[in-house]
Chain A
Amino acid sequence: MIRISLLIFGVIAGWNTQAQEVPTVDYPQLEEVLEAIEDDAQPVLINFWATWCAPCVAELPYFKKVKEQRTNLTIVFVSLDFPSQKASKLLPFIQENELPGRHFLLDDPAAHEWVSKVDERWSGALPATVFKNGSDQVFHEGKFSDYDELLNFLE
């Protein structure tokens, strides 16, 4: 009985940690993990978003769909939710909406420095999406108006 309880507990605990693996990082840390991810697998799509950002939330289904259709694509979601709302908003949102991919919470107030490092073309408005394939990097600021626009972006 104890063993079964332990087993169930272990499974739940394991499932929980997996579902809630959303490290909080500053920009240098994010840069480091992104480089590792890019070294590991190409192509990579990186989306900057937040649960409170309506246009960001509106385009999430396109990313889910594209991930289902292109299994070789790595998706990284970088949330700009406020760290105080990580447990109450961000984690439940990711879980309920079954967002695929890797997730990070970017907590770095030096936006005047890192916005340009993400992409020179970014003004800093959310949402923003970067797509890297080999040495090519394309950038999109604002919401994708529909799924086709995302597909064109990935061409």
Chain B
Amino acid sequence: MKKTLLLILGIMVFAMTLQAQMSYEIGSEVEDFTLKNVDGEMVSLSDYDSEGVVIIFTCNHCPYAVKYEDRIIDFHNEYASKGYPVLAINPNDPEVQPEDSFEKMKERAAEKNFPFKYVFDEGQEVYPKFEATRTPHVFLLDNERRIRYVGAIDDNYKDPSKVEVHFLKDAVAALQAGAQPDPAMTKAIGCSIKTK
């Protein structure tokens, strides 16, 4: 009886360790991945030799994502040259949300003239590793491609003119100063990632 209990406990601990290894947290180094960009080219995280990379899970259909589109464009235009380009990833299954198909991504990227890469997580193998749950959902990576900040872009999804705290920009400033972003995690309202 005792042995069985110990065995069960052992399996549980093992399973929990596995679970912990499977997804990232603050400080985790992100594995390389390769996804298709709206221009048809394949893009890998390892293609970037910049100081950092700002991965943003986002999409076409979600009103919160739409509210942040212009802010993401502005961020990239200001920060790419400083070493922090945006890599936007659409994690949604287009069979569940047709607005987020690869074709529609191309249309949206063209309409808004996205200056950053907008890639498609086809097969949905990348977003679960990040434990991304919603769009938009930001992951700031440092020069070793470790996750240093997770969460919201700023503190007001409704009105950019009323933003008081620029979480993402503050996190980048912390990295530039050689410090750990504080807060390293924030929450935001968003659309659930669409999956079957």
A126 and B192 contacting across the interface, CB-CB below 8 Å = yes
CB distance from A25 to the nearest CB of B (A): 15
B134 and A124 contacting across the interface, CB-CB below 8 Å = yes
Among B162, B187, B193, B194, point to the contact of A109 (Cβ < 8 A). B162
Contact with B along A120-133 (1 / 0, CB 8 A): 00111111000000
A: contact size bracket: 20 to 34
B194 and A80 contacting across the interface, CB-CB below 8 Å = no
B186 and A112 contacting across the interface, CB-CB below 8 Å = yes
Known contacts A109-B159, A111-B157: does B63 contact A122 (CB below 8 Å)? no
B194 and A55 contacting across the interface, CB-CB below 8 Å = yes
Give the nearest-CB partner of B167 in chain A.
Answer: A112
Among B63, B157, B167, B190, point to the contact of A125 (Cβ < 8 A). B190
Residues of A within 8 A of B180 (CB): none
B133 and A125 contacting across the interface, CB-CB below 8 Å = yes
How many angstroms between the C-alpha atoms of A112 and B187 in the bound complex?
5
The answer to whether the Cβ of B3 comes within 8 Å of any Cβ in the partner chain is: no
CB distance from A60 to the nearest CB of B (A): 15
Known contacts A54-B97, A82-B63: does B192 contact A111 (CB below 8 Å)? no
B192 and A55 contacting across the interface, CB-CB below 8 Å = yes
Among A80, A109, A123, A127, point to the contact of B155 (Cβ < 8 A). A109
Residues facing B in A82-109 (CB within 8 A) are: 82, 109
Known contacts A123-B133, A125-B134, A141-B133: does B155 contact A112 (CB below 8 Å)? yes
Give the nearest-CB partner of B99 in chain A.
Answer: A54
CB distance from A112 to the nearest CB of B (A): 5
Majority SS at the chain A contact face: loop
Give the nearest-CB partner of B189 in chain A.
Answer: A111
CB distance from B130 to the nearest CB of A (A): 12
Residues of B within 8 A of A141 (CB): 133, 192
Residues of A within 8 A of B156 (CB): 109-110
Q: Chain A: residues with CB nearer than 8 A to chain B? A: 50, 52-55, 80, 82, 109-112, 115-116, 122-127, 141-143
CB pairs A–B below 8 angstroms (22 shown): A54-B96, A54-B97, A109-B155, A109-B156, A109-B158, A110-B156, A111-B152, A111-B157, A111-B187, A112-B151, A112-B155, A112-B186, A112-B187, A116-B187, A122-B187, A123-B187, A124-B134, A124-B188, A125-B133, A125-B190, A141-B192, A142-B192
Given contacts A112-B152, A115-B189, A127-B192, 15 further A-B contacts (CB under 8 A): A50-B63, A52-B63, A109-B158, A110-B155, A111-B152, A111-B188, A123-B134, A123-B187, A124-B133, A125-B191, A125-B192, A125-B193, A126-B190, A142-B192, A143-B192
Query: Which 7 pairs, one residue from A and one from B, show the smallest C-beta to C-beta distance?
Result: A125-B134, A125-B192, A111-B189, A123-B133, A115-B187, A109-B156, A109-B158
